[in-house]
Structure 1
């Protein structure tokens, strides 16, 4: 026996392409349902976009920085017969984040209902009633859009038709910003209550109002930080996969999905190795899955023409840096709004023009977890939404000038003189998303989350092109963000049979 499993393991075999949170969650769920699972990761560490950078004594998360629905992770540990608390320590961050508007005013978001009302009164007393009505509407959106539909497959057009009346009732045809603007008048409050689609790659002026559910989702389950960084969650999930008798192979790049008689039968690696499987689950970007991993196969729906006509999310510029001193006045999460809101978003999503101005998300994890930096030091991650590579910016030339503009903005607003304290620094650009994560056009979140690319209109969890192929992650239903990709894996429980039902 090895790790509790026979030396010859004849359980049905599932191959998972990619070890992002969607892929690891899928592997745990399949392993708990009797499958022998092999996770294949082309990079040298698991996690995908959630990989970890370690340099000069600092630890930096590369991707997600918060956990907003911890029960979805706890489910995975329970399925594996373990307690999440034994492997991972989550701590609530409250306030969730501070929003600093361009005029210098601030708005702290938290779980404290009365504190939130006080924040609204301070900015715009006349909008308090509208804020309360918006929050009630967000709660209903969350109940339907996340709790009821988030982990339901949309494999048939009838699935979409069934919920159409609910979508109309919830005004899903409106944008998040239009919805919010119907409740509050103060422009700062409109920004504070509508920016959430940016968390999942969406434009608040184009994303369906369904994404306004994020405001209540944060209130309902809180915003949490993983001590040691998000990478601890990745390590924990990879451990669950192995504990269930599965394997996580690194430096294993999948070249194509093997298809015989319309069925996925395994994968071929770039090394030439063939791995046979009863089912294949792709956590790769859905556009890459169809255009590259199934290149040469007849695709009825997700052919190259349709993929080329699809709308892709924005990309990101991320600068990670460490300082030799603490900036104790800065919170764990700080959102810095620039001078323009709609104009900047139009530049990013529509004109795909790299603007001179920007809005930023500044992450200071050492405010909660000093272990991520050497003693007396602070670690930072500053993120700027930018156009994807369809805009034509040459990031081999733009990266350093853009970093300098970001640095000047921080110096002029919340971090006076910080550059002389920097001891380590590195950047991520749209080229990283294209080259390391194989995201078409360097889009950081796959297809843009608009209504016509959501639910049934999004690439299905059960592939429309090949039998025994399933999709998880940001590029399929329900979409990007940790809750979304974990729900995409949860859907597999409904569409992939239990391993014991297969006759070997």
Structure 2
């Protein structure tokens, strides 16, 4: 087993209460920072050889492949996290504002560029569909109202008590939280391209836009209010600095350390057992592992009354992801109209989503998200070269007759390449260099993600807020959960906010027996 930075970590026992954090993803590292600031002695354990979880990176032939999230949409949550430790976020991380945020392209050749400037956005809407401008203005007001309620209120406090649910039901009803994101957007604009452009965002957190609650229209306000940013060095650089801060606080980040079980005595979590048999005692345990993995595997020998195996298997899970990472040689000056983020739409929207989420079928057509960080951050590739990743939503592995990725892997990659080469990067095949692929099967083995999902439990209305796995476990005393599968949900702002909620729930270290 290895430590992330043993020169910074103090391993001797102290009188401070001990918190063990399972997983060095962004949620786990943020939790460790919060706990360290509160006065806990923290040990973070992760089975990978680098910190960051889904936010880590791979290097191949001089190309850095950022494996997961690529953008920062609410820098304030990071600033507040750093401030809790007595630091300044911008002293450690170089954020670059992107303009445009992303460009959406349709098969008919039309385009839509999302920007921070309100007038530029009105011009984009008017250019596509002038008659939809009044409805677009109403949509923005709807999104802002849902932001203040859904993110700043519900998203930054615990929702583990039933009375918390009852208290917000009138607001949910008034805001028609029962209506899907797409259904809400369709009431505001008529052009099908605009309906897609204003409703696709739940896919970035694993949700079906035709079923996920309309509260998630708040993402449009996040973009317009805070902008879309890229961290130089990628999200992996944010994770690296977070791990360093944990060490500076006196904590320890152990990599290559896989937790096999949460140790329970009586009805209380008292530590963890590693895959090699080592037991680490703790006063509290925080799991940044997927909520499904936490309950089904890490507590497999513990009686559970709410998050039983049957309950978890009945949950609606987010889709899987097929991600093709590749470098290109001598292309830095090629494709001048291709920016940092591009979304390529296939011929279908709703039908494609239905195939992926409901039928569990691998469609013949596809819509793709293309990430080209080298236009912003030259360090991701050798001089003159480019680094890309292309992401395709695909079914998770829990459907009947699920996709066999050992069989489909290379054929699907070729189809992705053909689509990208035809619609965005002509001549791509002549310049290809280093490559990597992650399929849902890889998500299952690398991240221990149930059914190989990209984003854990889908954020439908009856799987959000109180209905989602709570940040404080109702099953076991002394166990807390953070990350994408818990409240408030997936995406960097949600994951970092889950650590903020955690800090409100854990006992005062002064009151915990050392």
TM-score, with normalisation over the residues of structure 2?
A: 0.96
2:31 equivalent to 1:21: no
Q: Report if aligned partners of 2:9, 2:252 keep a CA contact under 8 Å in 1.
A: no
* Counterpart residue number, 1:216: 221
Choose from 356, 362, 383 the match for 2:364: 356
Please show how residues 1-400 of structure 1 align to structure 2 within 5 Å.
7-324=12-329, 325-326=331-332, 327-391=335-399, 392-400=402-410
2:433 equivalent to 1:423: yes
**CA shift at 1:6, angstroms?**
9.5
Distance 2:505 2:127 in 1: 49
Distance 2:170 2:149 in 1: 12
Distance 1:58 1:281 in 2: 34
Render the CA deviation track for 1:206-240: whole Å, top value 9, x for unaligned. Answer: 00001110000111111000011111100111011
Render the CA deviation track for 1:152-209: whole Å, top value 9, x for unaligned. Answer: 1111111101000000111100000000000000000000000000010000000000
* Counterpart residue number, 1:494: 504
**CA shift at 1:25, angstroms?**
0.4
Please identify, of 133-142 and 74-83, the stretch whose mean Cα deviation from structure 2 is larger.
74-83
Distance 1:109 1:75 in 2: 27
Q: Report if aligned partners of 2:146, 2:215 keep a CA contact under 8 Å in 1.
A: yes
Render the CA deviation track for 1:11-44: whole Å, top value 9, x for unaligned. Answer: 1000000011110000000000000000000111
* Counterpart residue number, 1:444: 454
* Counterpart residue number, 1:460: 470
**CA shift at 1:356, angstroms?**
0.8
What RMSD in Å do the two structures reach over aligned CA positions?
A: 1.2
Q: Report if aligned partners of 2:269, 2:476 keep a CA contact under 8 Å in 1.
A: yes
Q: Report if aligned partners of 2:11, 2:252 keep a CA contact under 8 Å in 1.
A: no
List 4+ stretches of structure 1 deviating above 4 A.
2-8
Q: Secondary structure at the match of 1:248?
A: strand
Distance 1:6 1:277 in 2: 14
Q: Secondary structure at the match of 1:390?
A: coil
Choose from 430, 442, 447 the match for 1:432: 442
Q: Secondary structure at the match of 1:467?
A: coil
Distance 1:313 1:356 in 2: 20
List gaps (5 residues or longer) in structure 2. Answer: 1-6
Q: Report if aligned partners of 1:77, 1:240 keep a CA contact under 8 Å in 2.
A: no
**CA shift at 1:79, angstroms?**
1.7
Q: Secondary structure at the match of 1:59?
A: strand
TM-score, with normalisation over the residues of structure 1?
A: 0.98
Render the CA deviation track for 1:370-419: whole Å, top value 9, x for unaligned. Answer: 11100000110100000001231000111110010011111111111111
**CA shift at 1:60, angstroms?**
1.1
**CA shift at 1:3, angstroms?**
5.8
| Alpha-carbon distance change, 4 to 393 in structure 1, aligned in 2, over 3 angstroms | closer
**CA shift at 1:487, angstroms?**
0.9
Count of residues in Structure 1 that have an aligned counterpart in Structure 2: 503
Render the CA deviation track for 1:440-462: whole Å, top value 9, x for unaligned. Answer: 11011111110011111111111
2:495 equivalent to 1:485: yes
